[in-house]
Amino acid sequence: MSLIADRPHSRWAVFRSFELVAGLVLVGGIGLAVILSPWLFPDNGMGVNLLARLRAPFSDWSHILGTDPLGRDVLGRVVAGGRISLLVGVASVAGGAAIGVFMGLVSGFYRGVWDMIVMRFADVQLALPFILLAITFIAILGGGLFNIIMLMIVSQWVQYARLVRGQVLALREREFVLSARSFGVSNFNLIWHHLLPNLLGPVIVLITLNVATNILLESSLTFLGLGVDPSTPSWGGMLADGRTYLQTAWWVSVFPGLAILLTVLGLNLLGDWLRDRLDPTGRTRQ
């Protein structure tokens, strides 16, 4: 289905830069806090203090966002939990994009049986929502960081392969590719120097949006008890713990969720801004 991308209007130009600035501030701020977390919170949000259980937020400067049922600093745990989320988001997307771009280039460029196999495989993976695939495999293989990242790679490379393949099919008939070919440029050079640079724009957009998606997925799985080990601070894990204390201590459930929302929102703002720059025909729209 073709959905025409929103073209920037003159009045919208202001909003475009607002998207960029807000996205950069959110993602940059959270990224910086996570990178600096070993110095900001040397105990990794693990320091138990039973004398300071369930302190309300904004009442005590040493625990600005309050403490959890074990007296651990909520802010420290939120920042430490960010490490898991960002790690899963970045690692899974890097793996998925690398495999998908390669498969898409090969199947779009050489076509044939290989192309057919990749695309039928893609149909299957697109038919099964990730969360169902994840429940099945994690129930069997167990959770943990590595398994989650692998599952995301296995289920997402297809998106990049489809995107890249479609572009290669369009690009390979263009004059600059045909002329390069007529000069006797090797297939490898054709793909590497002529095709790849011309199709990276939409791939970058998809990468940004998928980091956001995967942070959401990881937190859902961990919340459901199918993800990261509960002893490691993580946003989904904190939310699962906090549910029990919803009646008495709202802050334990509110702040980790807010961290997810703001991180994902920042990435979505950046992705939306990038889409207008790098993907004028809107191929990365769902």
| Residues at the site binding another protein, with contacts judged by CB under 8 A | 1, 3-4, 6, 9-12, 15, 120, 123-124, 127-132, 135-137, 139-141, 212, 216, 219-220, 223-224, 226, 239, 242-243, 246-247, 250, 253-254, 257, 260-261, 264-265, 268-269, 272, 286
Cα separation, 167 vs 155, in Å, equals 21
- Give the nearer residue to another protein in terms of CB position, either 102 or 250: 250
- Give the nearer residue to another protein in terms of CB position, either 1 or 50: 1
- Give the nearer residue to another protein in terms of CB position, either 104 or 242: 242
Cα separation, 106 vs 98, in Å, equals 12
DSSP bridge pairs for 275: none
Smallest gap from Cβ 218 to another protein, in A, equals: 10
- Give the nearer residue to another protein in terms of CB position, either 161 or 195: 161
Smallest gap from Cβ 22 to another protein, in A, equals: 9
Contacts of 180 (CB under 8 A, 6+ apart): 190, 194
Residue type present at position 144: G
Smallest gap from Cβ 183 to another protein, in A, equals: 34
Question: Which residue is it, tokens 């440029």?
Answer: 185
Smallest gap from Cβ 38 to another protein, in A, equals: 26
- Give the nearer residue to another protein in terms of CB position, either 31 or 47: 31
Smallest gap from Cβ 85 to another protein, in A, equals: 11
- Give the nearer residue to another protein in terms of CB position, either 167 or 195: 167
Smallest gap from Cβ 33 to another protein, in A, equals: 18
